[in-house]
Structure 1
């Protein structure tokens, strides 16, 4: 009996890692990126792990098992770069990629150069069991794994793309895996596939010959004793992917690429009393409007603001608008919030629709809570997110550059009065919720898995040890092509030789 109890205890605790020391860096100056890291690490701290978190958003009140290392000093430099975001609406996918690369190099170097991070790197008493890094144009920071002699787990804030597939030799054919910066959906036309192949090729070229060389210089500057950059680049143990078939395309993934999309959505907290009362007492329901944390609303021109105000004034519904500055002469049905608890607002049953820029986290929260959407994409993956939302039947796209009061009014009337949008939103929500394991539990399990198995080298794919032409079988195809050419050449030569001899024989016979 005693042995049976011991066996049951072992079964319960197998796979459990207690009190691991975890260093995590989420350097992007964006509250949505911070949320991805904080929600996961906060939960790991609650489960007994010791967390050291490098980010631009330190906590005002200390948390148990949680140490903040602030890099808030990088904000001013990146605020200047953010002002360019609204200009990217008409930019090509390649323009978007290059802009994000420029921003990535800035926060990567500024983050590593900060005094707080330098103190951490110079300390001789710091040890960690795993390094969790948000991967977003910051490959130089992968060297933290070598510096602390710990395995590296990457977390991508977006689905698999040209940005991360090469790190794990993940297959991504341009024929059906869309470029994340292009507004294509899974089933592309011939023209779209041509464009998709072009975008993939050009971004890969830019990445290998411009982006990564910059990251290499940054790594060599801050980690002069690190191994060659290529060795650091392809040595990560695991990639946690912010994707799921409920909002992103089903595509191939290697064994060490794990989908955890939706993990950041936590159970709704209690709303502030005034906001709770506002949502409850709205007789005709509420439309929630937010352009996210990066795209500050005060960058909107007066003409565009006027379009929104006039369109909102025609609604019988109330409008809750997350806006960074006060506006005079607002219609009585519009309320401005300078800060809004988005997850809790979307969870409220009286919210009828969401007007959004289509950022991935907002898209996930929209589906999680089953809300119909009007999408106003501006840059990066937002165009695809809205295109996919339209395909799923719960969204209407209104291009940012071509916004008019008439277009907004038409879209709002359609989304609020056609029940099919709400039905389709609920259908997608059901798909997201129907999972065997909660995404956050899945994410924590795999981080602990890497710790248990000392970096999990058994998940390393042999493709990473092959050259690009070997992975594409170009060397094999060259041999096959050479063999076919040799056979054709020999056959042609033999035929010509035989024909030549036959002509000579016929000529001799004629002379005789």
Structure 2
């Protein structure tokens, strides 16, 4: 309690003497990698002289600083593990897209409920309502849990973020036209080159998700009103969020049009490689035949793949000349001599090493962006969410291969690894992507910081919002005009048909009269 009081006093009195602002970052999604993405923003803002308060599930795991004030939403993972009604891993792996959307809905409600009952949440709730935040940055990826803090702190400039590429519902929220004709929905096994019937499915699922998210906000509003009885509607609070920083990088991800209030900053988490720990540095330097990095990110775990899959991987790795460095979260026996097991790995630093030849990954957006930046081809093993479309795009552009976890065999692993290592196409294509990513006027992180400070300087960026943001899809897409014109066309055709039929009838009648006269 004393610590929290000190933080409040420091922010109120200590920050006023500096040129920096007080910035509040709100994250409800319990994903370590996504918190790292947001902390990259926080760290850059701190370096510019701003005080940052971050409310999130793992906010205390980051580097300590006098200008960084973490408020932890505690025990999130324990709460998820206790839930008997929600088997997240199985539902996300399920190929039934309706089931996956339902899981997201239930997951969002569970996260919100836990957050509202956490000590960390109430710590921020107990801040005085006249406390001044100069900017709120809110993660919009999962839910609208923390929208009411916008009203509590008197509507400071607010911007949104998402590390999930650009979800369709957020694209629509900011007035951007959806593109289901060539942007596949996350949970479908499509690429941007869809057949007609695939486009039909993609269209229906994309807009079904948009409607589901609208319903979710209504349900979360009911939950939020138990704590914030006088809050405005979620839609009203969301409309105050004037800008979206999204994890798109059009060099790596599928190009698409975005409105002026959506800023792509994909890859902002990528940093210059740091020196490796001594043991790993020696292993990497001595790997004359190259290194293969195997890492499934922070949410999927290698030790949960199953005994059969793990043994198939070990048998395959043992037959390779390369050194395999594998992020494996628990102990593992009978490991081949060329396989190095670590519970944690500095992924970026390993990818940047000149001896790295291949990255076996889950295909998450952040990991894929890192692989592209350092020019390392990928074998993607996708599990859920955006990983599927990311890996499908990797395959389509010949940046790597796909290997589904459930179909892993020793021979399949060997075939895929040898194809990547012996065919220079994949490595050359990734190196070209790397050149393009590095050839930018500003880094993605510099762009994110600029727009964050821009929003503070100009009291938000609502002047960048297109008129479409306040229109229904029916009007913004001109569907009403198209239907009206279609009606006129059918009316014209119908009237022309009636006129022709009448003319034929008249001509026929005249002809019959003439026949009678003769």
The runs of 5 or more residues in structure 1 that have no matched partner are 1-16
Normalising by the residue count of structure 2, what TM-score does the alignment of the two structures yield?
A: 0.89
Pairing partner for 1:241 from 230, 238, 246: 246
Aligned residue number for residue 169 of structure 2: 163
1:305 positional shift? 0.8
Residue pair 1:46, 1:65 contacting (<8 A) in 2 also: no
Say yes or no: does 1:333 pair with 2:333.
Answer: no
Counterpart for residue 118 of structure 2: 114
Quick check: 472-481 or 394-403, which moved more? 472-481
For the 8 Å contact 1:262–1:439, the answer to whether it is kept is yes
Determine which of 211, 220, 228 is the counterpart of 1:223. 228
Q: Distance in 2 between matches of 1:453 and 1:470?
A: 30
- Partners of 1:114 and 1:409 lie apart in 2 by 47
Q: Residue 65 of structure 1: which of 48, 64, 67 is its match? A: 67
The answer as to whether partners of 2:296 and 2:361 remain within 8 angstroms in 1 is yes
Deviates more, 1:172-181 or 1:347-356: 172-181
**CA distance in structure 1 between the partners assigned to 2:495 and 2:412 by the alignment:** 69
Q: CA deviation at 1:418?
A: 2.0
Structure 2 counterpart SS, 1:221: coil
1:67-106 pair list within 5 angstroms = 67-79=69-81, 84-85=88-89, 88-106=92-110
Aligned partners of 1:146 and 1:42: how far apart in 2?
A: 26
User: Residue 179 of structure 2: which of 170, 173, 179 is its match?
Assistant: 173
Sort the Cα spacing of 1:126 and 1:483 in 2 relative to 1 into closer, same or farther, 3 A: same
Q: CA offsets, 1:214-235, max 9 Å, x none?
A: 2222332332212122222333
Residues 1:202 and 2:208 are matched in the alignment: yes
Deviation at 1:293, TM superposition (A): 0.7
Is the 1:50–1:65 contact (alpha carbons within 8 Å) kept by the matching residues of 2?
A: yes
- 1:79 is displaced (CA, Å) by 4.1
Partners of 1:54 and 1:204 lie apart in 2 by: 27
Farther off after superposition, 17-26 or 387-396? 17-26
The alpha-carbon distance between structure 1 residues 21 and 329, as it changes in their structure 2 partners (threshold 3 A), is same
Aligned to 2:453: 448
Q: Which of 193, 208, 211 lines up with 1:187 in the alignment?
A: 193
Number of equivalent positions: 495
Q: CA deviation at 1:99?
A: 2.2
Please report how far the alpha carbon of residue 481 of structure 1 lies from its aligned counterpart in structure 2 after TM superposition.
Answer: 3.8
Residue in structure 2 matched with residue 26 of structure 1 by the alignment? 27
Report the CA distance between 1:146 and its aligned residue. Answer: 2.0
1:297 aligned onto 2:302: yes
1:315/1:505 CA distance change after superposition, 3 Å = closer
The 3-state SS of whatever aligns with 2:168 is coil
Q: Secondary structure at the match of 2:202?
A: helix
For 1:52, what is the secondary structure of its paired residue? strand
Q: Deviations over 1:256-293 (max 9, x none)?
A: 00110111111122211111112112232211111111
**CA distance change for structure 1 residues 136 and 218 in 2, over 3 Å: closer, same or farther?**
farther
Give the deviation of 1:454 after TM superposition. Answer: 0.9
Q: Partner of 2:256 in structure 1?
A: 251
TM-superposed CA distance for 1:131, in Å, is 0.9
Residue number in structure 2 paired with 1:364: 369
- Give the drift of 1:184: 2.3
Match of 1:151 among 145, 152, 157: 157
Cα displacement (A) at 1:492? 5.5
Which shows bigger deviation, 254-263 or 132-141?
132-141
**Residues 128 and 335 of structure 1, relative CA distance in 2, 3 Å threshold:** same
Q: CA deviation at 1:507?
A: 8.3
- Stretch moving more, 482-491 or 334-343: 482-491
Q: Where does residue 9 of structure 1 map in the other structure?
A: none
User: 2:121, 2:229 → 1: CA distance?
Assistant: 16
Aligned mates of 2:270, 2:306 — CA distance in 1: 32
**SS at 1:24 equivalent:** strand
CA contact (8 A) 1:86 1:295 kept: no
Q: 1:154 to 1:316 in 2, by over 3 A?
A: same
Instruction: Give the whole-Å Cα distance in 1 for the aligned partners of 2:500 and 2:421.
Output: 76
Which secondary structure state, in structure 2, belongs to the residue aligned with residue 197 of structure 1? helix
After superposition, what is the alpha-carbon deviation per residue over 1:138-182, rounded to whole angstroms, capped at 9, x for unaligned?
123223222212122111112223231121121123212222332
State how far apart, in whole Å, the 1-side matches of 2:400 and 2:385 are. 18
1:482 Cα shift?
Answer: 4.1
Tell me the distance in 2 between the aligned counterparts of 1:257 and 1:334: 43
Aligned to 1:433: 438
C-alpha distance in 2 between matches for 1:396 and 1:493: 60
TM-score (normalizing by structure 1): 0.90
What residue is the counterpart of 1:414 in the other structure? 419
Q: 1:79 to 1:351 in 2, by over 3 A?
A: farther
